[in-house]
Structure 1
Amino acid sequence: MPENTQIKLFEEKKVRSVWNEEEQQWYFVVVDVIEILTDSKNPTDYIKKMRKRDPVLSEGWGQLVTPLGVQTAGGTQRINCANVKSLLRIIQSIPSPKAEPFKQWLAQVGYERMQEIENPELAQKRMKEIYEKKGYPKDWIDKRLRGIAIRQNLTDEWKERGITKEKDFAILTAEISKATFGLTPSEYKNVKGLTKKNQNLRDHMTDLELIFTMLGERVTTEISQQEKPEDFEGNKDVARRGGNVAGVARKETEKELGHSVISSENFLNLDEKSNGTLPENNLPE
């Protein structure tokens, strides 16, 4: 999933959400909320009827919702989302006893995020708990969380260097991956048999794969901080060089071990295996 996108659960039902970094608040997919609160088989049609009977929604819909990029089965698509304030106004037009618990749930989500902003360790703790519930081994979780922190430092550095477009982040990430493993992320997913768009490659990596991924990204960050590339091509060069450091280390490791670090093993069948394989999850990269 995109870095700022998450799946949240309300009464075991999925609500897609997008974190707006500039506004420091969550946006929720409106159609997901309507489906939960109305049990409608056609929530899109329900929204149309709701707007017709409520003049405020009819006239001010464009001020209440914002089309944002959301991961779907068909890829990232722009879907109408609303922040907590706007969503509460929309919910007022739903004659449903489910509305009040949902309001409380939204308040709890917002409160937890505010806590995480004040104390980032809480965010890490909650993420760790999610991985544990899905059956991930503790030592693997520690590496994964460390990798997320290193990745965040790298993306922050890229933003400092003027990288803002999602596709440019993807290109630079691919440069590191090719230099480290000889594979782009999409090629790597094919090796592991990951066919769904929402399957996060790093959640299916082995310990060593995670370690070399971290090394490539951390070295890239260090080089970038020292050299401060001023354009995209400069950032690509730094990404290749950072990944190459990890690539050299990987090849030396493979010589010592006598086998490839790159593994086709994925973590989709935890119940069927006992060697550290993990189930699919939708946590953001």
Structure 2
Amino acid sequence: MTQQNAIKLFEEKKVRAVWDNETEEWYFSVIDVIAVLTDSPNPRKYWSVLKTRLVKEGNQTATNCSQLKMPAPDGKMRLTDVATTEQLFRLIQSVPSPKAEPFKLWIAQVAKERLDQLQDPELSINQAMADYKRLGYSDNWINQRLKSIEIRKELTDEWKRCGLQDGIQFATLTDIIYQTWAGKTAKEYKLFKGLKKENLRDNMTNKELVLNMLAELSTKEISVVTDPETFAEHEDVARRGGSIAKEARIKLETETGKAVVTPLNSKKHLKLDEEND
């Protein structure tokens, strides 16, 4: 299951959701939905009591709810009950709330927007641009970030073509690319920038993004022409691709006297931009 975690807002209240690319379904946190509908001080207990009652009544909706890992308040990924759009519609009928109807419309709209984006990728790009803009990123940075997403996908598509698996193999090769051009693994890079769960690329400067794009683009191009078969060969290709960006980094640092890899993250970077306005 290829998943993408997201936070959706309904009347300024957070509802955690996971998009499953394989089933093309949103899975929503049931506890978050209960919190929205009931304003209960303990939505977890409310759901526990409701689930027990529904099971006793022979209602299969509660029984069919799955569990997926979602970010908890402490920042850790924890298992929680989730429901699809269809399951949620049935659950909402069991929760007396004046918010039921507007919440149903909200769920339907969230599902429709995602399906529309799958049919028209330009909508996804527009949404990403709006999200980054809302967070305060500059237009120049946003353009670089969107391009980096495209280049990263081309690289992972190439890895998939070669039979590699998303997960540990992708992570290992990505670490090699980072280590080669930036001198740090992804974990070390994030620690250097003071990050925890945040996306590393969302916290790169323009220069870092450009050089990382060069490293990933080079890795993809070398892979296409060499067609590596073993994982060891893929590791070698990743080092070669990263080396091209490393040479560019060293050259740029020599010419400017400034380090490319910096501890700046999005908060510090945005703050600097605000001070310069």
Q: Does the CA-based 8 Å contact 1:66-1:80 persist in structure 2?
A: yes
Corresponding residue for 1:28? 28
Structure 1: 5+ residue runs without aligned partners?
278-285
Distance change (3 Å), C-alpha of 1:98 and 1:276: same
Q: Which runs of 5+ in 2 are unaligned?
A: none
Q: d(CA) in 2 for partners of 1:159 and 1:63?
A: 36
Q: Which residue in 2 is equivalent to 1:236?
A: 235
- 1:46 maps to a residue whose letter is Y
TM-score, structure 1 normalization: 0.87
Return the offset for 1:3.
Answer: 6.7
Q: 1:205 — aligned with what? A: 204
Q: 1:41 to 1:235 in 2, by over 3 A?
A: farther
Could you tell me which amino acid in structure 1 is paired with residue 218 of structure 2?
Answer: V
Q: Distance in 2 between matches of 1:190 and 1:58?
A: 50
In the other structure, the counterpart of 1:217 is 216
Separation in 2 of the partners of 1:127 and 1:119? 13
Task: Give me the identity figure in percent.
Answer: 43
Alpha-carbon distance in 1 for matches of 2:208, 2:219? 17
Instruction: Note the 1:82-161 alignment, pairs <5 A.
Output: 82-161=83-162
**Number of aligned positions between the proteins:** 274
> Are the structure 2 counterparts of residues 81 and 223 from structure 1 closer, same or farther at C-alpha, using a change threshold of 3 Å?
farther
Shifted more, 145-154 versus 232-241: the winner is 232-241
Q: Retained in 2: the 8 A contact 1:136–1:276?
A: no
Displacement, 1:30? 1.7
**Is the Cα contact below 8 Å between 1:27 and 1:84 reproduced in 2?**
yes
Higher relative contact order (CA 8 A, sep 6+): 1
Stretch moving more, 218-227 or 43-52: 218-227
Deviation at 1:27, TM superposition (A): 1.4
Aligned pair in 2 of structure 1 residues 128, 78: CA closer, same or farther (>3 Å)?
same
Q: Does 1:51 align with 2:90?
A: no
| Aligned mates of 1:171, 1:257 — CA distance in 2 | 32
Flag the 1:160–1:77 CA change in 2: closer, same or farther, 3 A: farther
Cα distance, 1:65 vs. partner?
A: 1.9
Q: Which amino acid aligns with 2:188?
A: E
Matched, 1:267 2:266: yes
1:282 aligns with none
| Mean Cα deviation higher: 159-168 or 137-146 | 159-168
Q: Does 35-44 or 72-81 show the bigger shift?
A: 72-81
Matched, 1:18 2:18: yes
* TM-superposed deviation, 1:139: 0.5
Distance 1:78 1:161 in 2: 33
Report the aligned-residue RMSD: 2.4
Q: Distance in 2 between matches of 1:91 and 1:276?
A: 47
* d(CA) in 2 for partners of 1:57, 1:154: 51
1:275, distance to aligned residue in structure 2 (A): 6.2
1:93-125 C-alpha deviation (Å, 9 max, x unpaired) = 111111211111111111111211111011100
Aligned to 1:274, the other structure's residue is in SS state: helix
Q: How far, CA to CA, are the matches of 1:48 and 1:110 in structure 2?
A: 26
Q: Which residue of 2 aligns with 1:164?
A: 165
Q: Give runs of aligned pairs for residues 183-194 of structure 1, distance below 5 A.
A: 183-194=184-195
For residue 54 of structure 1, give the secondary structure of its aligned residue in structure 2: helix
Residues 275 and 221 from structure 1, CA distance in 2 versus in 1: closer, same or farther, beyond 3 angstroms?
Answer: farther
Which residue of the partner structure matches residue 65 of structure 1?
A: 65
TM-score, normalised with respect to structure 2: 0.89
